[in-house]
Structure 1
Amino acid sequence: DLAGRRLGVEWGSEGDAQARKLQKKIEGLTLRPYMAPEEALQALKDGQVDAALVDAVSALQFIGREGGVKLVGHPLTDELYVIAVRSKSHALLKAINEALAEMKEDGALARLRERWF
């Protein structure tokens, strides 16, 4: 229950947007914005906030590196991460797509997920 609690968020992120929606529904929920998800998670670990709402990738990396916090509940969204290239960078886009397809096919992506997340 987040009523009357302090919630750390990455300012301007999807987590921030979701937290603002929660704040309208939960009495006494105070948002504490941070410039990066790692800062929100460190604030949680240090007891400066009661919870942090950040993306799963950042949370899992922080937990693997620092420990001291754990994931609870279920994801609020299923936002996808992307690689962006300039619209005229056709060769780069093709190379990235081919590399990702190869990594998926040979299991490298699965190994990276297992190792880092």
Structure 2
Amino acid sequence: MKLRKVSTAVVAAMALALSVSACGGGADKGKDGDKIVVGIKYDQPGLGLKTTDGKFTGFDVDVATYVAKELGYAADKIEFKQTPSAERENALSNGDVKFIVASYSINDKRKAKVDFAGPYFLAHQDLLVRADDTSITKAEDLNAKKLCSVTGSTSAQNVKEKLAPKADLQTLGGYSECLNGLQSKQVDALTTDDSILAGYASQKEHQGKFKLAGLKLSDEKYGIGIKKGDKDLQGKINKALEKMKSDGSWEKAVKANFGPANYKNEAAPEITEK
């Protein structure tokens, strides 16, 4: 009888110790060797791209790496997880990722489901045309021209509904397909955020072949997505972004990823999500 009581006490003590240990480990992640899972895009050159040798490159990757470092995670402790646009909110609410840096525009519809830190970048919808094309200098010039974008793109809808209703809009599965069509003269322009267009134009195989029209057809404030209600993480990420701007790392990352396209980026935006 006594032995049973002692055994029960031991089991209870062990359970309590494990519980305390588990709570302590979660509270101080980043300093105990644990990894952090960060959502990015895998298919956007200049922003978030997984290369054939398994490496990750792009401005969003640089921002994510800097922020993770400020949270206490070395580069080798970051696990990048692919988060396509349609899956970003679920990835955050389910806890699949800690935060998302993936050309994630801040808007009220998204803020109903998730919170944001930042913004860390201000992009604009623009057009990518062939380097020798002088016929497209404003959105209205797309009337009677062939315009390409991806299926379901809000950028394409914006042009078709508000700016150039007579444009011959062609929607394809990916921006790379549109780029091939632009190069072969099957289409006259490609539209999406200027940061994405600059990323494609900056690729080694595309340098000198394309140019941005320099139009500001919309404002897209990129934020870092976090789980709804996580004010502590929001504050820490905002602090990291402020440091990234002040120490010159933000500007350096912009030039490294978009420079070859002669992209005229906006200054680092003021942080408004608090």
TM-score by length of 2: 0.38
8 Å CA contact retained: 1:6, 1:49: yes
2:200 equivalent in structure 1: 62
Q: Which residue identity does 1:42 align to in structure 2?
A: N
Distance 1:47 1:53 in 2: 15
Residue of structure 2 aligned with 1:7, choices 124, 147, 161: 147
Instruction: State the Cα deviation string for residues 35-72 of structure 1 (Å, max 9, x = none).
Output: 33343233212322111112101111111102321112
1:71 equivalent in structure 2: 212
1:33 Cα shift? 1.0
Give the secondary structure class of the aligned counterpart of 1:57.
Answer: helix
2:225 equivalent in structure 1: 84
1:73 Cα shift? 4.3
The alignment's C-alpha RMSD in Å is 2.0
Larger relative helix fraction: 1
Identify if the C-alpha distance between structure 1 residues 81 and 115 changes in structure 2 by more than 3 Å, giving closer, same or farther.
same
**Share of identical aligned residues, percent?**
29
2:237 equivalent in structure 1: 96
Q: Which runs of 5+ in 2 are unaligned?
A: 1-140, 259-274
Identify if the C-alpha distance between structure 1 residues 77 and 63 changes in structure 2 by more than 3 Å, giving closer, same or farther.
same
Distance 2:233 2:183 in 1: 40
Instruction: State the Cα deviation string for residues 6-42 of structure 1 (Å, max 9, x = none).
Output: 1001333331122222342x3xx21111333343233
8 Å CA contact retained: 1:7, 1:51: yes
Give the secondary structure class of the aligned counterpart of 2:215.
Answer: coil
1:51 equivalent in structure 2: 189
1:30 equivalent in structure 2: 168
Distance 1:93 1:11 in 2: 32
Distance 1:4 1:13 in 2: 20
Q: Which residue identity does 1:108 align to in structure 2?
A: S
8 Å CA contact retained: 2:149, 2:170: yes
Which segment drifts farther, 38-47 or 58-67?
A: 38-47
- Count matched residues: 114
Q: Which runs of 5+ in 1 are unaligned?
A: none
Distance 2:243 2:213 in 1: 34
Identify if the C-alpha distance between structure 1 residues 37 and 92 changes in structure 2 by more than 3 Å, giving closer, same or farther.
farther
Residue of structure 2 aligned with 1:108, choices 245, 249, 254: 249
Give the structure with higher Rg (CA).
2
Which segment drifts farther, 1-10 or 96-105?
A: 1-10
1:94 Cα shift? 2.6
Larger relative strand fraction: 2
Distance 1:36 1:100 in 2: 31
8 Å CA contact retained: 2:142, 2:164: no
